[in-house]
Structures are given as structure tokens and as C-alpha cells.
Amino acid sequence: MKRILMTLPMVLVLILGAFLYWGLNPDRNPNEIPSPLLGKSVPDFTLAGIDGVDVGGFGSAELSSGGIKLVNVFASWCVPCRAEHGVLIKLAARENVQLYGINYKDKPTDAQQWLAEMGNPYAAVGSDFSGRVGIEWGVSGVPETFIVSPDGVILYHYRGPLVGDTALRDFGEGLRRAREQIGQS
């Protein structure tokens, strides 16, 4: 009994240490919101296109065929989206992926202007003025980007702009794993 009691302080220190190691890890983001949609099919939706944009709208049907797709949620009023836009243009050109845009809670005229000014990397852009489709996708704030498998399953969810080394590394890793997953299955 005494032996057991004597090891107790060490056991407590180890438990506390493990907890602090986990809790104080600089890579851990305590604000991270889990994505319950990962591994599930894309939600059922259809979005109309935006007048004056040369690509049309899209819906679940378009996301359930073809190759790997990226779905980007953006808005003209969102400053980080502006920073991210150049990255999206490069991504769409360089990687063998199709980029879809959900224009979240944005006036269609503003979105049209934004795309005309900044360039349009999207294969299709749908207008989600009410934000309802955003809720279906579990969007908490723009920008967010999803990786969708050829058969319409959500493989990866990135919250925040794809700007900076950390974001690009994480997203690139997500894309690589998505490709692996598809190659295997």
C-alpha cells in the first residue's frame, strides 16, 4: 500500500505533464471547429449562377461526378478572400482540380464586379445570398475551402484563407491525402 502511495505524486505529475503537453502545444488551435461533414456526401443543394458571370451555377449533381473538386466559399465583402484569390487562381491553373465557388451572403452585382476585377478561377459560381447553403456545408465564416472526391464525398475542410506557409502546407497535405485516398479506393 505504501509503495503505491509513494508513486502517486509521480503518476499525478505525469498525468498533469501529458495534459499540459497537449494543451500548450503551439500547433493546437483551441478555436478549431470540428467538421462533422468529413467523409460524408456533399449536402443536397442547387445554386443559381450570377448574372454577368460567364460560368453558371452548380449543385450537388455537378460535385458528384468528374475528378477531385475544390469548393471555395467566398464573398466580395470578405477581406481575407481578396488575399486568397490569387492563390486560388494559381491552384486552379496548376493543380489538376476543378474549382467551384459558393458566393456566400453577397449581392450578385458585387460578386460579378469582384470576379470581373480579380479574375475568375471558378468552373462554376453559385450565389448563396441567404446563406442557407453555407449552413448546409457547416460554414462558420468566409473563406472556407473543401476538397471533394470524384463521387461527391467531402474529404477535407479548411477554415480560413489559403494564405501563408502554414495554410498552404496544411491544405497541400489535405490535397495529397485526398489524392492518395482516391488512388487507393
Partner 1 sequence: MFKHCVLILAFVIALPSFAVEPDEILDDPILETRARDISANVRCVVCQNEPIDSSNAGVARDLRLLIRERLVAGDSDDQVYDFLVARYGDYVLFKPPWRPSTYLLWLAPFLILGGGIIGMVYALMRKPQNPHAGLNADEQAQLDELIGSNNEGDAT
Give, for 90, the enclosing helix (H) or strand (E). helix 79-94
* C-alpha grid cell, residue 26: 503551439
Q: Is 131 in the site for partner 1 (CB under 8 A)?
A: yes
d(CA 18, CA 12): 10
Q: Is 13 in the site for partner 1 (CB under 8 A)?
A: no
CA triple 123-160-75, angle to 5 deg: 50
Q: Is 132 in the site for partner 1 (CB under 8 A)?
A: yes
Q: Which of residues 17-36 bind partner 1 (CB under 8 A)?
A: 31, 33-36
26: left (phi over 0), alpha (psi -120 to 50) or beta: alpha
Listed ranges 91-99, 119-127, 137-145, 171-179: which one lies at the site for partner 1 (CB under 8 A): 137-145
Q: Is 141 in the site for partner 1 (CB under 8 A)?
A: yes
Q: Is 138 in the site for partner 1 (CB under 8 A)?
A: yes
| Residue ranges binding partner 1 (CB under 8 A) | 31, 33-37, 105, 130-132, 134-141
